[in-house]
Amino acid sequence: MGDPRGFVKNTQRVPEARNPIERLGDWNEHYMYFDEEQRRKQASRCMDCGVPFCMSGCPLGNLIPDFNDLVYKGQWKEALRTLHATNNFPEYTGKICPAPCENSCVLGIIEPSVTIRNDESSIVEKGFQEGWIVAQTPKERTDKKIAIVGGGPAGLACAQQLNRAGHNVTIFEKRSKLGGLMQWGIPAYKIRKEVVQRRISILKQEGIDFTLNCEIGKDVTWADLKKDYDALVVAIGAEQPRDLPAAGRDAKGVHFAVDFLAQNIARIYGEKEATEGEQIKAAGKNVIVIGGGDTGSDCIGTSLRQGAKSVVSFELMPKPPQERAEHNPWPQYARVFKESSSMEENRNSGGQVEYCIATKEVLKDEKGNVKGLKTVRVEWSTDDHGRPTFDEVPGSEETWDAELILLAMGFTGPVIQGMVDELGVELDLRGNLKTDDASKMTNLEGVFAAGDCRRGQSLVVWAIAEGREIASNVDTWLMKKASLLPRVRLTPYRY
Ligand SMILES: Cc1cc2nc3c(=O)[nH]c(=O)nc-3n(C[C@H](O)[C@H](O)[C@H](O)COP(=O)(O)OP(=O)(O)OC[C@H]3O[C@@H](n4cnc5c(N)ncnc54)[C@H](O)[C@@H]3O)c2cc1C
Ligand code: SF4
């Protein structure tokens, strides 16, 4: 701990974001960075706690007090090495992680927490600027061939770890670029696609093979892939979107969020996917986004940047409290109201979020085009077993104009039918790939699962953790001896 009085002398500060109206004119990232001196001050606030709860809050177990201390001392290269010891891709988490670590920070009991995520982001950006982040190829190769299906953060982290162990790794990806939802879902104003691809080009230099535009189950059968490789890791995400069970759902102009977001990213970057399928555009339209999570938020920001006439967001749940509720104490993840950058932009553009509202019907015109929604307000209570439940409020029906409706109500699991039919892989009760608790292997010998397709729709930081842990399991199984690859705990701490 470089400065024992750092947290007394310095208050929490985060760099100002770009103006919420101005930034709607482009797709550049909305946040900015501190200079080194300001960053060192922020890192000095870390108290180097004897029991650093931030580390158990981080799914990767990042060595947070250590890298904060190194930043404070100006030892950036060593800070980068410390960060990479537990996190393959800190530039991704540094930009888009909701930072559960900060919710568990001990300083957070009495003051705003240490700005862990921003510290992480500054370390890795400095690493790239200085040219310290370069390919690390293994000294020796084994004779083992591993196929990884899916090039999202789980597949990429798993590939890098297995490649470090000397195995021959090929990633199969159905799209034209790797990155999963970081490339094809999360908008460029949260993470530029150059940032996603910068790391992927290093993975290629390290010797990992990529087979793009190849959908397993369609272009190559699951059975052939299993036959041709010594081990198979399935990391295909949880792509099945939850649908809207309402009359009129078939109206033209009702779309799933990721279809809209992916096409937009492809359009900005001139990818071939931009011209595939129906063109979904928000320009000049009244847009309603159903679902208030990350995905819904991304639809708001993207619609505004495309020039929507108005954007309203619907959320079935009540607005979260401003402060932690009694049953949600530190160091748990704080379930409190947070205004996302897109919600801020919408508020400044005259838009709003409606809470406790449910869709009754999609309204369409005589040509079948969507023209609005019929809704009802709901009231939440708890049932006899203490579970949350809601009732419709009588007489609260309303109609809303909309020419574009985006469904962002979450995901129900992986698109896996081909694999179930061809290989007989077992699913769990939630429709995700079922794996053995210890080995993380599915019911099929040599077939493993990692990321959202195993744990359900989650976060990038959990996907990286999954990739690292499953790599260690694959290595142990292949080599018939304990792996030297680091292990990761895949269940959150229950404080
Ligand atoms: C719109 C949106 C915004 C989000 N925002 C955030 C955020 O701000 N912060 C955060 O931490 N998390 C966020 N998430 C969640 C996060 O993106 C995911 O949890 C994470 O990407 C999961 O990683 P994964 O590797 O398991 O799966 P994915 O990222 O979904 O990657 C799976 C890959 O497998 C490929 N694939 C699927 N089937 C096949 C097949 N049969 N053959 C070949 N390839 C296949 C897909 O094309 C894809 O590239 C967001 C999610 C969405 C949808
Ligand atoms: S990866 Fe996420 S949880 Fe872990 S230290 Fe970084 S911001 Fe915090």
Residues 307 and 343 in one domain: yes
Strand partners, 210: 171
Which ligand has its closest atom nearest to the C-alpha of 158?
1
- DSSP assignment string, 34-87: --HHHHHHHHTT----SS-HHHHHSTT---HHHHHHHHHTT-HHHHHHHHHTT-
354: which 2 tokens?
């409606």
pLDDT of residue 493: 87
Out of 409, 427, 462, a domain closes at 409
Provide the pairing of β-strand 398-401 with 370-382.
Answer: antiparallel
Q: Which of 89, 116, 119, 332 to mutate to test the pocket of ligand 2 (most atoms within 8 A of CB)?
A: 116
Q: How far apart are CA 79 and CA 69, in angstroms?
A: 8
Domain final residue pick, 67, 98, 129: 129
399 and 297 co-located in one domain: yes
Rg from Cα positions in the chain: 23
Report which ligand 1 atom has the smallest distance to the Cα of 451.
26
368 and 447 both lie in a single domain: no
Are 123 and 168 in a shared domain? no
pLDDT, the chain, mean: 96
State whether 74 and 112 are in the same domain. Answer: yes
pLDDT exceeds 80 at position 232: yes
pTM: 0.97
* 120, 122, 182, 332: residue to mutate for ligand 2 pocket, most atoms within 8 A of CB: 120
Query: Any idea what the CATH number is for the domain that residue 194 is in?
Result: 3.50.50.60
Instruction: From 93, 45, 38, select the one nearest 69 (Cα to Cα).
Output: 45
Q: Residue 475 and residue 484: Cα distance in Å, rounded?
A: 9
* The one-letter amino acid at 326: E
CB atoms within 10 A of CB 155: 31
- Distance in angstroms between the alpha carbons of the first and the last residue of the chain: 26
pLDDT at 3: 87
Cα–Cα distance between 257 and 422 in angstroms, integer?
Answer: 30
pLDDT of 494 reads: 81
Note whether residue 426 is domain-resident: yes
Q: Is the CB of 151 under 6 A from ligand 1?
A: yes
490: pLDDT strictly greater than 90 = yes
Six-digit token string for 380: 């939440």
Residue 138 phi, psi dihedral angles, 5° rounding: -70, 150
Residue 25 lies in a domain: yes
Q: Is there a domain that residue 140 lies in?
A: no
- Cα(4) to ligand 1 centroid in Å equals 41
* Structure tokens that stand for 200 in this block: 């992927």
Cα-based distances in Å from 125 to 101, 112, 135, 248, 348: 20, 24, 16, 48, 30
For 239-254, write each residue's pLDDT tens digit: 999 999 999 999 999 9
Number of domains in the chain: 3
DSSP classification of residue 360: E
Residues 57 and 120 in one domain: yes
Q: What pLDDT is stored for residue 314 in this prediction?
A: 98
Same domain, 272 and 383: yes
Percent of the chain with pLDDT over 90: 96
User: Does residue 137 sit within a domain?
Assistant: no
pLDDT band at 147 (very low <50, low <70, confident <90, very high): very high
pLDDT in tens, 365-375: 999 999 999 99
CA contacts within 13 A on the Cβ side of 285: 23
- Centroid of ligand 2 to alpha carbon of 250 (angstroms): 41
Has residue 487 been placed in a domain? Answer: no
pLDDT in tens, 98-132: 999 999 999 999 999 999 999 999 999 999 999 99
Model pLDDT for residues 376-393, shown as the tens digit of each residue: 999 999 999 989 999 999
Alpha-carbon torsion (107, 86, 439, 216), positive or negative: positive
Ligand 2 neighbourhood includes 91 CB (under 6 angstroms): no
Check whether residue 428 and residue 417 sit in a common domain: yes
Q: Are 249 and 192 members of one domain?
A: no
Ligand 2 within 6 A of CB of 58: yes
pLDDT at position 46, please?
97
Question: Does a structural domain hold residue 488?
Answer: no
Q: What is the pLDDT of residue 418?
A: 85
Atom number in ligand 1 closest to CA 457:
19
CB 55, CB 62: distance < 8 Å:
yes
The enclosing domain of 45 has a CATH number of 1.10.1060.10
Pocket test for ligand 2, best of 46, 53, 54, 60 (most atoms within 8 A of CB): 60
Whether 193 and 252 map to the same domain: the answer is no
380 and 255, same structural domain?
yes
- 365: which 2 tokens? 């015109």
Structure-block tokens of residue 163: 């490649």
Residues with Cβ within 8 Å of 63's Cβ and at least 6 positions away in sequence, in order, are 55, 82, 83, 85, 86
Residue at 465: amino acid letter: A
Dihedral sign for Cα atoms in the order 217, 219, 224, 229: negative
Q: What is the pLDDT of residue 2?
A: 72
Q: CB of 233 within 8 A of CB of 448?
A: yes
The answer to whether residues 382 and 247 belong to one domain is: yes
Q: Ligand 1 within 6 A of 154 CB?
A: yes
The Cα 282–Cα 294 span in angstroms is 19
Which protein residue's CA is at the shortest distance from atom 39 of ligand 1?
236
Residue 491 lies in a domain: no
Name the domain boundary from 100, 129, 158: 129
Q: Which domain holds residue 453?
A: 145-239+412-479
Q: Are 107 and 45 in contact (CB under 8 A)?
A: yes
**In angstroms, what CA-CA distances link 337 with 107, 387, 420, 459?**
20, 21, 40, 19
Q: Which pLDDT tens digit goes with each residue over 240-298?
A: 999 999 999 999 999 999 999 999 999 999 998 899 999 999 999 999 999 999 999 99
Given pLDDT bands bounded at 50, 70 and 90, which one contains residue 339? very high
Is the omega angle on the peptide bond into residue 331 within 30 degrees of 0, that is, cis? yes
Q: Is residue 492 part of a domain?
A: no
